[in-house]
Chains A and B, each alone.
Chain A
Amino acid sequence: DQQVKQNSPSLSVQEGRISILNCDYTNSMFDYFLWYKKYPAEGPTFLISISSIKDKNEDGRFTVFLNKSAKHLSLHIVPSQPGDSAVYFCAAKETNRDDKIIFGKGTRLHILP
Protein backbone atom coordinates (compact mmCIF):
# COMPACT_ATOMS: atom_id res chain seq x y z
CA ASP A 1 0.00 0.00 0.00
CA GLN A 2 2.19 2.80 -1.31
CA GLN A 3 0.39 6.02 -0.58
CA VAL A 4 3.55 8.05 -1.22
CA LYS A 5 5.56 7.02 -4.24
CA GLN A 6 9.03 8.04 -5.27
CA ASN A 7 9.52 6.21 -8.52
CA SER A 8 13.15 7.11 -9.06
CA PRO A 9 15.40 5.19 -6.68
CA SER A 10 18.38 7.30 -7.69
CA LEU A 11 19.31 10.47 -9.55
CA SER A 12 22.65 11.90 -10.63
CA VAL A 13 23.08 15.62 -11.24
CA GLN A 14 26.09 17.75 -12.12
CA GLU A 15 27.24 20.17 -9.43
CA GLY A 16 25.78 23.61 -10.05
CA ARG A 17 22.80 22.29 -12.01
CA ILE A 18 19.21 21.90 -10.85
CA SER A 19 18.16 18.72 -9.05
CA ILE A 20 14.49 17.79 -9.36
CA LEU A 21 13.12 15.07 -7.13
CA ASN A 22 9.61 13.86 -7.79
CA CYS A 23 6.92 12.38 -5.60
CA ASP A 24 3.39 11.16 -6.30
CA TYR A 25 0.69 10.35 -3.82
CA THR A 26 -2.62 8.55 -3.91
CA ASN A 27 -4.38 9.64 -0.73
CA SER A 28 -6.61 12.67 -1.29
CA MET A 29 -6.80 13.17 2.50
CA PHE A 30 -3.19 14.30 2.62
CA ASP A 31 -3.03 17.98 3.54
CA TYR A 32 0.61 18.52 4.38
CA PHE A 33 3.77 17.36 2.66
CA LEU A 34 7.35 17.26 3.81
CA TRP A 35 10.75 16.51 2.41
CA TYR A 36 13.41 14.90 4.57
CA LYS A 37 17.07 14.40 3.76
CA LYS A 38 19.07 11.49 5.10
CA TYR A 39 22.80 10.91 5.21
CA PRO A 40 24.22 7.42 5.92
CA ALA A 41 24.27 6.52 9.61
CA GLU A 42 22.06 9.48 10.49
CA GLY A 43 18.34 9.94 10.98
CA PRO A 44 16.18 11.84 8.49
CA THR A 45 16.48 15.63 8.72
CA PHE A 46 13.55 17.88 7.99
CA LEU A 47 14.19 20.00 4.90
CA ILE A 48 11.09 21.80 3.74
CA SER A 49 7.33 21.39 3.81
CA ILE A 50 4.21 22.62 2.07
CA SER A 51 0.59 22.83 3.02
CA SER A 52 -2.03 21.66 0.54
CA ILE A 53 -3.43 25.21 0.35
CA LYS A 54 -0.24 26.35 -1.35
CA ASP A 55 1.37 25.37 -4.60
CA LYS A 56 4.91 26.53 -3.88
CA ASN A 57 7.19 27.03 -0.92
CA GLU A 58 10.74 28.28 -1.16
CA ASP A 59 13.60 28.21 1.34
CA GLY A 60 16.96 29.26 0.03
CA ARG A 61 18.13 26.79 -2.60
CA PHE A 62 15.15 24.51 -1.96
CA THR A 63 11.72 24.91 -3.51
CA VAL A 64 8.82 22.52 -3.25
CA PHE A 65 6.02 22.58 -5.81
CA LEU A 66 2.65 20.97 -5.26
CA ASN A 67 0.20 20.04 -8.01
CA LYS A 68 -2.89 18.85 -6.18
CA SER A 69 -4.87 17.93 -9.25
CA ALA A 70 -2.08 15.63 -10.39
CA LYS A 71 -1.31 14.48 -6.82
CA HIS A 72 2.29 15.31 -7.51
CA LEU A 73 4.99 17.25 -5.76
CA SER A 74 8.57 17.98 -6.55
CA LEU A 75 11.63 19.29 -4.76
CA HIS A 76 13.97 21.57 -6.69
CA ILE A 77 17.50 22.20 -5.50
CA VAL A 78 19.29 25.06 -7.24
CA PRO A 79 22.23 25.12 -7.54
CA SER A 80 23.11 21.58 -6.52
CA GLN A 81 26.11 21.23 -4.23
CA PRO A 82 28.23 18.20 -3.25
CA GLY A 83 26.74 18.23 0.27
CA ASP A 84 23.32 17.65 -1.26
CA SER A 85 24.26 14.04 -2.01
CA ALA A 86 21.92 12.09 0.25
CA VAL A 87 18.68 10.14 0.23
CA TYR A 88 15.60 12.35 0.00
CA PHE A 89 12.29 11.18 1.42
CA CYS A 90 8.97 12.61 0.44
CA ALA A 91 6.41 12.36 3.25
CA ALA A 92 2.81 13.33 3.88
CA LYS A 93 0.17 13.45 6.54
CA GLU A 94 -3.61 13.25 6.48
CA THR A 95 -6.02 15.92 7.62
CA ASN A 96 -6.54 15.72 11.40
CA ARG A 97 -3.88 13.05 11.79
CA ASP A 98 -0.95 15.19 12.76
CA ASP A 99 0.97 12.42 14.47
CA LYS A 100 1.41 9.96 11.65
CA ILE A 101 3.70 10.78 8.77
CA ILE A 102 3.80 8.44 5.80
CA PHE A 103 7.08 8.22 3.96
CA GLY A 104 8.00 7.30 0.42
CA LYS A 105 10.88 4.91 -0.28
CA GLY A 106 13.34 7.68 -0.97
CA THR A 107 15.48 8.84 -3.89
CA ARG A 108 19.26 8.74 -3.64
CA LEU A 109 20.71 11.93 -5.10
CA HIS A 110 24.31 11.90 -6.33
CA ILE A 111 25.90 15.26 -7.08
CA LEU A 112 28.67 14.79 -9.60
CA PRO A 113 31.76 17.05 -9.61
Chain B
Amino acid sequence: EPEVTQTPSHQVTQMGQEVILRCVPISNHLYFYWYRQILGQKVEFLVSFYNNEISEKSEIFDDQFSVERPDGSNFTLKIRSTKLEDSAMYFCASSYKPVTQYFGPGTRLTVL
Protein backbone atom coordinates (compact mmCIF):
# COMPACT_ATOMS: atom_id res chain seq x y z
CA GLU B 1 0.00 0.00 0.00
CA PRO B 2 1.42 3.42 -0.93
CA GLU B 3 2.56 5.54 1.99
CA VAL B 4 4.01 8.92 2.80
CA THR B 5 7.69 8.76 3.75
CA GLN B 6 9.75 11.31 5.66
CA THR B 7 13.46 11.80 6.16
CA PRO B 8 15.29 12.03 8.42
CA SER B 9 13.45 10.30 11.24
CA HIS B 10 15.36 12.41 13.76
CA GLN B 11 17.19 15.69 13.19
CA VAL B 12 19.30 17.39 15.84
CA THR B 13 20.42 20.95 15.18
CA GLN B 14 21.85 23.96 16.94
CA MET B 15 19.68 27.00 17.57
CA GLY B 16 19.96 29.43 14.68
CA GLN B 17 20.76 26.78 12.09
CA GLU B 18 18.67 26.06 9.04
CA VAL B 19 16.99 22.69 8.68
CA ILE B 20 15.20 21.05 5.78
CA LEU B 21 12.71 18.30 6.46
CA ARG B 22 11.88 16.09 3.53
CA CYS B 23 8.76 14.23 2.55
CA VAL B 24 7.77 12.01 -0.34
CA PRO B 25 3.98 12.12 -0.65
CA ILE B 26 1.88 9.37 -2.19
CA SER B 27 2.49 9.57 -5.92
CA ASN B 28 -0.94 10.50 -7.30
CA HIS B 29 -1.80 12.90 -4.49
CA LEU B 30 -2.36 16.55 -5.26
CA TYR B 31 -2.57 18.20 -1.84
CA PHE B 32 0.34 18.39 0.58
CA TYR B 33 0.52 19.45 4.20
CA TRP B 34 2.84 19.95 7.12
CA TYR B 35 1.78 19.60 10.75
CA ARG B 36 3.73 19.62 13.95
CA GLN B 37 3.22 18.15 17.39
CA ILE B 38 5.12 19.57 20.35
CA LEU B 39 5.66 16.87 22.97
CA GLY B 40 2.48 16.24 24.93
CA GLN B 41 0.43 18.69 22.90
CA LYS B 42 -1.99 18.47 20.00
CA VAL B 43 -1.17 18.06 16.35
CA GLU B 44 -1.09 21.57 14.85
CA PHE B 45 -1.66 22.51 11.24
CA LEU B 46 1.19 24.49 9.68
CA VAL B 47 0.57 24.77 5.95
CA SER B 48 -1.18 23.26 2.96
CA PHE B 49 0.13 23.28 -0.61
CA TYR B 50 -1.75 22.72 -3.83
CA ASN B 51 -0.98 23.45 -7.46
CA ASN B 52 2.52 24.61 -6.59
CA GLU B 53 1.49 27.24 -4.11
CA ILE B 54 0.51 27.62 -0.48
CA SER B 55 -3.26 27.39 -0.15
CA GLU B 56 -3.55 27.87 3.59
CA LYS B 57 -1.16 28.56 6.45
CA SER B 58 -1.48 28.96 10.19
CA GLU B 59 -0.16 31.74 12.38
CA ILE B 60 2.67 29.41 13.37
CA PHE B 61 3.94 29.40 9.78
CA ASP B 62 5.82 32.69 9.89
CA ASP B 63 8.66 34.01 7.74
CA GLN B 64 11.06 31.48 9.23
CA PHE B 65 9.20 28.68 7.48
CA SER B 66 8.97 27.87 3.81
CA VAL B 67 7.79 24.94 1.73
CA GLU B 68 8.82 23.73 -1.67
CA ARG B 69 8.03 20.99 -4.11
CA PRO B 70 11.33 21.05 -5.98
CA ASP B 71 10.53 18.13 -8.27
CA GLY B 72 7.63 15.81 -8.95
CA SER B 73 8.11 13.72 -5.86
CA ASN B 74 9.56 15.63 -2.90
CA PHE B 75 7.87 18.13 -0.60
CA THR B 76 10.13 19.99 1.81
CA LEU B 77 9.74 22.17 4.88
CA LYS B 78 12.57 24.60 5.59
CA ILE B 79 13.09 26.37 8.87
CA ARG B 80 15.55 29.18 8.28
CA SER B 81 16.84 29.92 11.76
CA THR B 82 15.69 27.35 14.27
CA LYS B 83 14.58 28.27 17.77
CA LEU B 84 14.36 26.07 20.84
CA GLU B 85 10.59 26.14 20.60
CA ASP B 86 10.72 24.60 17.12
CA SER B 87 11.57 21.27 18.75
CA ALA B 88 8.67 18.98 17.84
CA MET B 89 7.54 16.09 15.67
CA TYR B 90 6.87 17.33 12.16
CA PHE B 91 4.38 15.35 10.12
CA CYS B 92 3.95 15.56 6.39
CA ALA B 93 0.61 14.52 4.91
CA SER B 94 -0.84 14.23 1.44
CA SER B 95 -4.24 13.64 -0.12
CA TYR B 96 -5.80 13.12 -3.52
CA LYS B 97 -8.81 15.15 -2.50
CA PRO B 98 -8.83 17.54 0.43
CA VAL B 99 -9.73 16.46 3.94
CA THR B 100 -8.82 12.76 4.08
CA GLN B 101 -5.12 13.15 4.56
CA TYR B 102 -2.51 10.42 4.84
CA PHE B 103 0.29 11.10 7.24
CA GLY B 104 3.94 10.15 7.20
CA PRO B 105 5.74 8.74 10.25
CA GLY B 106 7.16 12.12 11.22
CA THR B 107 10.55 13.72 11.76
CA ARG B 108 11.57 14.47 15.31
CA LEU B 109 13.37 17.82 15.34
CA THR B 110 15.50 18.61 18.37
CA VAL B 111 16.91 22.12 18.62
CA LEU B 112 19.75 22.52 21.13
Contact = CB atoms under 8 A, between A and B. Distances in A.
Interface residues of A, number: 22
A103 to B, nearest CB: 4
Contacts of A89: 42-43
**Chain B's interface: helix, strand, loop or mixed, by majority?**
strand
Interface string A23-48: 00000000010101000011111100
Contacts, number: 55
The number of chain B residues touching the other chain, given as a range, is: 20 to 34
A43 B104 contact: yes
Contacts of A43: 4, 91, 93, 103-106
Interface string B73-107: 00000000000000000010100001111111110
Interface of B: 4, 31, 33, 35, 41-45, 48, 50, 55-56, 58, 91, 93, 98-106
